[in-house]
Amino acid sequence: MAISDSLDSSSIGGATTTTTTMSDSDRNLSLRKSQRPAAIRDANDVAELDNSATAVEASTESANSIARNGKMIGNGDNHAAGLDIKFAYRPSVPAHRRIKESPLSSDAIFKQSHAGLFNLCIVVLVAVNSRLIIENLMKYGWLIKTGFWFSSKSLSDWPLLMCCLTLPLFPLSAFLVEKLAQRNCLSDPVVVLLHVIITTAAILYPVFVILRCNSAFLSGVTLMLFACIVWLKLVSYAHTNYDMRALANSADKGDASSSSVNVDCSYDVSFKSLVYFMVAPTLCYQTSYPRTASVRKGWVVRQFVKLIIFTGVMGFIIEQYINPIVRNSQHPLKGNLLYAIERVLKLSVPNLYVWLCMFYCFFHLWLNILAELLRFGDREFYKDWWNAKTVEEYWRMWNMPVHKWMVRHIYFPCLRHGIPKGAALLIAFTVSAIFHELCIAVPCHIFKFWAFIGIMFQVPLVLITNYLQNRFRNSMVSFYFCHYPFNLIHGHYLIIKLIEIFS
């Protein structure tokens, strides 16, 4: 129709509208249409409107636009446009022609973008929390104290600093062992024994230093995390070199099985590769990694600014909200049960914010900054764990460096040695629980196996959520009703106990 031409050339609803003058052929066509019988005209209109679901709305908007900008159209054009408007939207034209679902119905909600609602939620979230922060500051004042994170003893934590600076000696020792093994100076059993000694010393040495020194909590946690990372990297370095050495020996002997596997059988011990691996944001050793072309300096600065901001937000929430709630609360397992539930639920929102800030700061900002500086190409440090339907999917997606290490050096080696899948999964969770306990118990100087029990309880949750997921197809009911409540209670209890220890 001729009105479609005016629609394409006009800015609907705008302050200014540009229209094109209709040609004589278009004007004659519209006049011929107006002289047709009403039934034919209506049938043609219905056919044209069926071709596009928005044609009626477009015609109406175009007509309004032409009416608003009538001064800009000549008399002849006004007459032609009036004819088009007259026959554009007849009362007899059906307004409902197809079966359609509402945008928020279950059948249509995932077939469209929700960017507008997401932006609205962000605006509401910022507004509500800004009001709560202002109200909290007006009511309680500035409650932030550095005693929990840093104390007067923090500057005297030089044994922990010296221990951290001497941790690179263990990778150097592992490199010397592998170099001797490459030159056939050591047999495989001796190499394995030396690596066991090196990795064990790499984890026990920091534990001994932290327990002997009355250090600040943050200093102990930092050193323990570094020690655990070094241990995981050393295990990967020793295991990978052992496997490459075995493949190289098989290839030298002409073993067909080794050549059929799509693996590089070249065995080369390089100090440069070890140094890059020890600082790279990965726990799995390999001789080469995918690399980017250059370093984006401006991008690194922006991410570092975000890291500082979100770290400050995390500390603010802990000191301004979580710590006062805990100080004014009773022991969660002693006293009124309803009171304990109310305290736990009151901690739920700030605890969630702290966890999200921690995840964003470490797994997104810090690891991406490190990867950009080192031009490390594989930056899949996490997947969309928020869409996980089971606990098993969640643990596979939220921490990809540890997951890849577990799969590569724990799970599949167990399967290759004939261990059942269930037992292999239990071994992997046991290793994870031990290191969670070390990172919590050692800096706190108290061993009560809170973190260990919390991680091991994930094993039955994996079984339960897998069963529920198979029972209720295409549903996340298992994850919502099992994983979130348990981790909510367990996380709150850990936070409460930590603050009780250092308050």
User: Which residues are known to be catalytic?
Assistant: 436
Give the 3-state secondary structure percentages of the chain, helix then strand then coil, rounded to 5.
70, 0, 30
User: What is the Cα–Cα distance from 265 to 218, expressed in whole angstroms?
Assistant: 43
HEC secondary structure over 19-56: CCCCCHHHHHHHHHHHCCCHHHHHHHHHHHHHHCCCHH
Assigned token pair, 14? 């705008």
For residue 409 the two structure tokens come to 């050096």
What whole-number distance in Å separates Cα of residue 260 and Cα of residue 182? 24
What's the CA gap between 188 and 198, in Å, rounded? Answer: 15
- DSSP-assigned beta bridge partners for residue 238: none
How is residue 422 written in tokens?
């269930």
Residue with tokens 């190409």: 377
Cα torsion through 242, 243, 249, 250, rounded to 10 = 160
- HSE-CB at 332 with a 13 A cutoff on CA atoms is 20
Which residues sit opposite 376 in a β-bridge?
291
Whole-number Cα distances in Å, 284 to 131, 178, 238? 45, 17, 11
The answer to whether residues 23 and 71 touch, using CB atoms and an 8 Å cutoff, is no
Single-letter amino acid code for the residue at 110 = F
Q: Are 3 and 55 in contact (CB under 8 A)?
A: no
DSSP for 361-395 reads IIIIIIHHHHHHHTTB--------GGG-SSHHHHH
Q: DSSP label at 231?
A: H
* CA atoms of 282 and 351, how far apart (whole Å): 28
Q: What values do phi and psi take at 100, rounded to 5?
A: -135, 150
Alpha carbon 480 to its chain centroid, in Å, reads: 18
- Contacts of residue 452, Cβ cutoff 8 Å, sequence gap at least 6: 433, 434, 436, 437
Distance of alpha carbon 46 from alpha carbon 36, whole angstroms: 15
Cα distance between the two ends of the chain? 77
User: 291: which strand partners?
Assistant: 376
